[in-house]
Structure 1
């Protein structure tokens, strides 16, 4: 069945619409249904009473802009779900769950589970677990993943070098704790990513990312909530991260860049014996330089001794890392810089040691978090009013200028992810 055509009955309506505006009209597409338990691949698939059974039917459906695929909750599939068609800005193609119960689950050790090769897809309510490499792999542009789940993959969500202007929001990425490379020597172990960003101009916001951690023969352990490699101008904001090896690590292979990535209003905690908030590199590192990283209004609590707030090494400079209005409490080192050092201001740190020069308005003090897991500020906190005023470009645009609970910033903002 094809999307609704422009019939004679619609012509009088369209004739009243200016030609320039007709392209923005979204005509209704076809809705398809899939149910792994009660479906039948010989059925029409166009009603909840006659759903398809397998994802193969979706992969072969030839979906068009405006079409919708509804997948029954409680269903379970062996992947992949391969989404190659393309929607439009006015008429994306939609994948969503329906019914009650657990999210439809896609798994399969032999394949990546959800492969988004096209553009303008809106995908919600799916779980991808135990996949060959990635739970969700995004190769296209202008796609949205909303309220999805990914667990027990090497990468929960992988946005490839061709993936740009995509959004991942309000999703739960749990225990993506497998290594893709884990061998002796070579400084090459890799894996355990909540999100791996290799594309440009993507937004990762409002997600909960936990358990990005796996044993590594090279490093003892490795893993991250959000890893950026060769990706430019990505915005990672308003996420809650728990018990990952590091929140973010950035790198770029020689001849490529990872420039202008923004980390804002994230809350990072861990009970692990080691960990870090942010690791970036200068030009003397094998995967450096990583230029123009910005970290603002983040709240971090990593109490173990083998921890570090941030590290800017192998040729750090203000062009490599800028930090503003963060609250960072670690049991180890607050931060490390070499070379010319990072550009830092408006922050509160508590740690056993410091290997950087505090910037304007920054202090070493107890920020007085409400608790180990609640990083809001108690009355009398030195972080209240500590921040410096920032323009929207610092935190990824005006629409993102609010704390992790949605409160707007004031002219004299508090340091950290929460505004009092």
Structure 2
């Protein structure tokens, strides 16, 4: 009893002392204000009306745990912002803004960094506008965080910053230029980071060369192809999320030398813009158990890589899931390895690829045990993209499986060198549309139209309902059960570990209504593709029946046509909305080359009028051509919201 009482009193005293200590830290924390217009370095700096003015003043500060450094909105500074000091787990140092108006702007003016932390930890850097431009390019960064001989540093949180116009060089190495860079430099003490959060930042436009970059000099291990002394010392608890990266010279987002990093809910729009070297949208290197999910990557330039995503070498267990890739010059994903390195047990599942170019999947080098399943791939009419492209990098793929995937191919190039793969499993896939050279055998292949609700209509990661399956699709409930399948599909529907799943990225019940077999029938992709133009057709904003775009025929004769893939001996309904600027110059909507006589409807109204044509394909006809046509005259004609549905 006495012992218990003593222990109780001791605990009470400990909590009282701890609380007093915490209160003391909180009480001693200061807030420092920066005002580039009305501030004065002779001021106290601790109130908004006694703000400091220059970066030199704040750079001379050694901040204490719990301190805040606030820059006034609407202000601007030139040079490097590099305050000293570290926070603690209970009292990080916060750099943010105050006031109203535009974010406070700091231009690094060609220095190595605009915002710089060196061997510091427990920092939150939030809501700043950052550039680094002086009319020339050199090695430079927006935010640059460095660990050199400091052991394990913790809690670097970079949130809500706007970083653009970083005129870096495009040298591809660990010490290259970046919008945001967290770097560990080799020295006498093995060092890394724990708890990196990079969230909600905008990086770009005009950032060279990498958007967001985490890298380390402690990278040498056999997995990365390094034959020297093993010094691999990865950073952990790394989260890169909710960032928008655009118009970067090289790579979009790359964690390197990490363990269990998560890269999610990011958008990369426009990468590999200027570097002239191999780059991809989102990928990891020399990093184990990376999770890359819920991202959108598009507008990648160049076929020097140029893929939206990449499972690169020096890794085990990379997981790429629930992502949307589209319109990348290099394709959807690269899975690669040099001969002396390692790329093992990667998984690529529940992703959607639309209009990616060059090659959907590129397999390069002797990678092992990769699983690719339940992805949905769409290629438009006229595409020459290779669905799978295999090439050697010190050897060919050793083992990979493709299961339960849907390829909807309005156009396609060859399936390239799949016979070079050592152990290749290809089963329960749907390949519909074009069947090009090299297409692999599949004991359970489906070639019937999978009845995607509206293929080619994807607008963003959260606007891809066109890749759901319509009721009656042969791809519903016809896949193979895969162990450890993640438990849910792209859309959040459950995936059973025992019941037969759908093929493709959608595992829900069939959606109601017939599938629209037209591609880009509403022109909301702001492009004519896959329609073809004869003389006068173009896509214009406004003048639409719904949405923001329509097809315009600027005069006659002129037309827009689309080849659609159908089934023989089947009846379809073709609908659309058509109008003319001059009622004396009608516009036609029609169908031909389907195995029956050409049919068309004539519209002479100046407001949108719905036209409908029903037709039945011939016994050996699996395509038709639909069109909007203006025979003559200088008045404009318009069309919008075209659909083809199977009766």
TM-score by length of structure 1 reads 0.73
Equivalent residue, structure 2, for 1:27: 26
Deviations along 1:97-151, one digit per CA (max 9) or x if unpaired, are: 3333332233322222233442232222123334643322344543222222223
Equivalent residue, structure 1, for 2:539: none
What's the Cα RMSD here? Answer: 4.0
Equivalent residue, structure 2, for 1:6: none
- Contact 1:174–1:194 (CA<8 Å) still a contact in 2? no
Report the CA distance between 1:59 and its aligned residue.
3.0
Equivalent residue, structure 2, for 1:8: none
CA 1:111/1:208 → structure 2, altered by over 3 Å: closer, same or farther? Answer: same
Q: RCO higher in 1 or 2 (8 Å CA, sep ≥ 6)?
A: 1
Deviations along 1:232-283, one digit per CA (max 9) or x if unpaired, are: 444333233332343234555xxxx34443333333333x6x2333223224
Report the CA distance between 1:390 and its aligned residue.
7.2
Once residues 89 and 387 of structure 1 are traced to their aligned partners in structure 2, the CA distance between those partners, rounded to angstroms, is 48
Equivalent residue, structure 1, for 2:376: 327
Instruction: Say which is worse superposed, 171-180 or 383-392, in terms of deviation.
Output: 383-392
Q: Which of 265, 273, 289 does residue 342 from structure 2 map onto? A: 289
Once residues 36 and 402 of structure 1 are traced to their aligned partners in structure 2, the CA distance between those partners, rounded to angstroms, is 51
Equivalent residue, structure 2, for 1:363: 430
After TM superposition, the structure 1 = structure 2 runs for residues 253-332 of structure 1, keeping only pairs within 5 Å, are: 257-270=314-327, 274-284=329-339, 288-304=341-357, 307-318=358-369, 321-330=370-379, 331=383, 332=385
Equivalent residue, structure 1, for 2:464: 376
After TM superposition, the structure 1 = structure 2 runs for residues 30-41 of structure 1, keeping only pairs within 5 Å, are: 30-41=30-41
CA 1:418/1:91 → structure 2, altered by over 3 Å: closer, same or farther? Answer: farther
Equivalent residue, structure 2, for 1:248: 309
Once residues 102 and 258 of structure 2 are traced to their aligned partners in structure 1, the CA distance between those partners, rounded to angstroms, is 33
- Contact 1:209–1:240 (CA<8 Å) still a contact in 2? yes
CA 1:55/1:235 → structure 2, altered by over 3 Å: closer, same or farther? Answer: farther
Once residues 23 and 361 of structure 1 are traced to their aligned partners in structure 2, the CA distance between those partners, rounded to angstroms, is 64
Helix, strand or coil: the match of 1:135? strand
Once residues 55 and 276 of structure 1 are traced to their aligned partners in structure 2, the CA distance between those partners, rounded to angstroms, is 45
Report the CA distance between 1:315 and its aligned residue.
0.9
Report the CA distance between 1:93 and its aligned residue.
1.9
Report the CA distance between 1:409 and its aligned residue.
4.7
Equivalent residue, structure 1, for 2:264: 205
1:239 aligns with 2:288: no
TM-score by length of structure 2 reads 0.50
- Contact 1:370–1:377 (CA<8 Å) still a contact in 2? no
Deviations along 1:320-361, one digit per CA (max 9) or x if unpaired, are: x33343333354123335433324434333451445567554
Once residues 211 and 65 of structure 1 are traced to their aligned partners in structure 2, the CA distance between those partners, rounded to angstroms, is 39
Report the CA distance between 1:62 and its aligned residue.
1.3
CA 1:68/1:340 → structure 2, altered by over 3 Å: closer, same or farther? Answer: same
1:105 aligns with 2:164: no
Equivalent residue, structure 1, for 2:77: 77
CA 1:69/1:276 → structure 2, altered by over 3 Å: closer, same or farther? Answer: farther
Once residues 334 and 390 of structure 1 are traced to their aligned partners in structure 2, the CA distance between those partners, rounded to angstroms, is 25
CA 1:194/1:72 → structure 2, altered by over 3 Å: closer, same or farther? Answer: farther
CA 1:315/1:149 → structure 2, altered by over 3 Å: closer, same or farther? Answer: same
Deviations along 1:359-407, one digit per CA (max 9) or x if unpaired, are: 5544335754472424512353568777967759x69xxxxx896xxx7
Report the CA distance between 1:31 and its aligned residue.
1.9
Equivalent residue, structure 1, for 2:161: 148
Report the CA distance between 1:47 and its aligned residue.
1.9
Once residues 79 and 133 of structure 1 are traced to their aligned partners in structure 2, the CA distance between those partners, rounded to angstroms, is 12
- Contact 2:140–2:178 (CA<8 Å) still a contact in 1? yes
Equivalent residue, structure 2, for 1:165: 195
Once residues 35 and 387 of structure 1 are traced to their aligned partners in structure 2, the CA distance between those partners, rounded to angstroms, is 63
Equivalent residue, structure 2, for 1:121: 123
Once residues 31 and 154 of structure 2 are traced to their aligned partners in structure 1, the CA distance between those partners, rounded to angstroms, is 23
Helix, strand or coil: the match of 1:89? coil
